[in-house]
Structure 1
Amino acid sequence: MKIGLIGFGKTGKSVATVLLENNKFCLEWVLRKSTVLEKRSVSEFLGIPSEEQGIIYSSSKTSMEELLDKHPVDVIIDFSSTDGIYTYGEQAAQRKVKIISAISHYKDKELQLLKKLAHKTTVFWSPNITLGVNYLLFAAKFLKKIAPWVDIEVNEEHFKKKEGTSGTAVKIAEALEIDKDNINSVRAGGIVGKHEVIFGFPYQTVRLIHESISREAFGNGVVFVAENLKSKPKGLYNFEDILTPYFTV
């Protein structure tokens, strides 16, 4: 499966590493805003032995139309920013290229665009694309069904410079139908990401915890999603759509 990656920050580099090490995928190119590393080989820069032709391009010098014409891909994976979708969305949809977006915070305008693009191609969006945290979400929802009256608190911890409340924590709160005031945030050091859901019963406590030890966890999530999107028709999907069949008895 040929992959195009949008964004090459810390997480983008980790995702690229996982893709290069998986022989089921071919990282064709990376597109980023900066001209730093322009035309460098991704595998060479990351120091990963690979025969793949993955090249780094800058959006200020190479248009998405030109990139897709010269280096077509099956899937575009977005780890850039909230406005990244405007760089590639329409061009990808016109060519039926599948879109996997892992952007934490989208506003209504971007969400409406995703829905529009989903009329033409397969689109997936998740504010946290790690498999573990989405399994946690599933488990939490099941426990809430068993005990809808239980007290629930959500704790999220991230690196010092992360701004705003974790998009994943917000999604957990929405899924469990609790107020966002029940989300407690911690910003310290270089914490990659930790989410905890606390269920307070009268005489016992249940804690569901997921912690990302390394950003490569996002790459593993991308691989899982991409493999499960292969046979999906056009439409807008989330992790629940992909995981639900695995829970069918």
Structure 2
Amino acid sequence: MKIGLIGFGKTGKSVASILLENKKFSLEWVLRQSKVLEHRSAPEFLGIESNEPGLIYSSSNTNVNDLLEKHPVDAIIDFSSDEGIYFYGESAAKKNVKIISAISHYKDKELKLLKKLADKTTVFWSPNITLGVNYLLFAARFLKKIAPWVDIEVNEEHFKKKEGTSGTAIKIAEALDVEKESINSVRAGGIVGKHEVIFGFPYQTVRLIHESISREAFGSGVVFVAENLKDKKKGLYSFEDILSPYFAV
């Protein structure tokens, strides 16, 4: 499966390394805002032996239509920003390139655009693309069904510079009917990401915890999503759509 990666920050680099080490995928190119590393090879920069091109391009010097013509891909994986979808979305949809977005926060405007693009191609979006945190979300929903009256608290911890409430925590709160304002947030040091759901029963407590040990967890999630999205028809998909068949009893 040929992949184009958008975004090459700390998480993007970790995702690229996972893709380069997986023989089922070929990282054709990387697109980033900065001109630093332009025309360098991602495998060479990351110190990974690979025959995949993985050439790095800058969005300020690159026409995305030309890029998709010269270096076609089966899917685009987006780890850039909430504005990135405007740069490549329409071009990708016209060419029936699958879109896998792992952007934490989208406003209503961007969500409407995703739905519009899903009329033309296969689109997936998750504010947290790690498999573990989405497993936690499924488990939490099941427990809430069993005991809808239980007291619930949602906690999230991230690195010092992360702004705003975690998009994943907000999604968990929405799924469990917890007010967004009551989410407890901690910002300290270099915490990659930790989410905890506390269920307060009389005389006992259940805690569901997911902690990302390294950003490679996002790369593993991308691989899982891409493999399960391979044969999906056009439409807008979430992790719930992909995981539901696995939970069928």
| TM-score when normalising by structure 2 | 1.00
Q: How much does 1:163 deviate?
A: 0.1
Q: What is the CA–CA distance in structure 2 between the aligned matches of 1:155 and 1:182, rounded to whole Å?
A: 9
User: What letter corresponds to residue 41 of structure 1 in structure 2?
Assistant: S
Q: How much does 1:80 deviate?
A: 0.1
User: What letter corresponds to residue 172 of structure 1 in structure 2?
Assistant: I
Q: What is the CA–CA distance in structure 1 between the aligned matches of 2:233 and 2:187, rounded to whole Å?
A: 40
Q: How much does 1:178 deviate?
A: 1.1
User: Which residue does 1:199 correspond to in 2?
Assistant: 199
User: Which residue does 1:28 correspond to in 2?
Assistant: 28
Q: What is the CA–CA distance in structure 1 between the aligned matches of 2:87 and 2:33, rounded to whole Å?
A: 10
User: Which residue does 2:139 correspond to in 1?
Assistant: 139
Q: How much does 1:45 deviate?
A: 0.3
Secondary structure of the 1:163 match is coil
Q: What is the CA–CA distance in structure 2 between the aligned matches of 1:72 and 1:246, rounded to whole Å?
A: 32
Gapped runs of 5+ residues in structure 2?
none
User: Which residue does 2:159 correspond to in 1?
Assistant: 159
Check whether the contact 1:28–1:53 (CA below 8 A) recurs between aligned residues.
yes
Secondary structure of the 2:153 match is strand
Q: What percent identity do the matched residue pairs reach?
A: 83
Check whether the contact 1:79–1:103 (CA below 8 A) recurs between aligned residues.
yes
* Equivalent runs, 1:56-135 vs 2, <5 Å: 56-135=56-135
Check whether the contact 1:152–1:182 (CA below 8 A) recurs between aligned residues.
no
User: What letter corresponds to residue 243 of structure 2 in structure 1?
Assistant: L
Alignment deviations for residues 207-234 of structure 1 (CA, whole Å, 9 cap, x no partner): 0000000000000000000000011000
User: What letter corresponds to residue 138 of structure 1 in structure 2?
Assistant: F
* Equivalent runs, 1:209-220 vs 2, <5 Å: 209-220=209-220
Alignment deviations for residues 4-23 of structure 1 (CA, whole Å, 9 cap, x no partner): 00000000000000000000
Q: How much does 1:180 deviate?
A: 1.1
Q: What is the CA–CA distance in structure 1 between the aligned matches of 2:221 and 2:26, rounded to whole Å?
A: 16
Alignment deviations for residues 53-83 of structure 1 (CA, whole Å, 9 cap, x no partner): 1100001111100100000000000000000
User: What letter corresponds to residue 177 of structure 2 in structure 1?
Assistant: E
| Deviation >6 Å, runs of 4+ | none
Residue-pair matches, total = 249
Secondary structure of the 2:76 match is strand
Q: What is the CA–CA distance in structure 1 between the aligned matches of 2:97 and 2:245, rounded to whole Å?
A: 24
Pairing 1:175–2:175 present: yes
Q: How much does 1:158 deviate?
A: 0.1
Check whether the contact 1:17–1:48 (CA below 8 A) recurs between aligned residues.
yes
Q: What is the CA–CA distance in structure 2 between the aligned matches of 1:67 and 1:50, rounded to whole Å?
A: 21
User: Which residue does 1:233 correspond to in 2?
Assistant: 233
Check whether the contact 1:34–1:58 (CA below 8 A) recurs between aligned residues.
yes
Q: What is the CA–CA distance in structure 2 between the aligned matches of 1:229 and 1:214, rounded to whole Å?
A: 24
Alignment deviations for residues 172-218 of structure 1 (CA, whole Å, 9 cap, x no partner): 00000111122100000000000000000011000000000000000
User: What letter corresponds to residue 164 of structure 1 in structure 2?
Assistant: G
| TM-score when normalising by structure 1 | 1.00
Q: What is the CA–CA distance in structure 1 between the aligned matches of 2:51 and 2:235, rounded to whole Å?
A: 33
Q: What is the CA–CA distance in structure 1 between the aligned matches of 2:184 and 2:54, rounded to whole Å?
A: 40
Gapped runs of 5+ residues in structure 1?
none
Pairing 1:208–2:205 present: no
Q: What is the CA–CA distance in structure 2 between the aligned matches of 1:181 and 1:54, rounded to whole Å?
A: 42
Q: What is the CA–CA distance in structure 2 between the aligned matches of 1:38 and 1:133, rounded to whole Å?
A: 34
Check whether the contact 1:96–1:121 (CA below 8 A) recurs between aligned residues.
yes
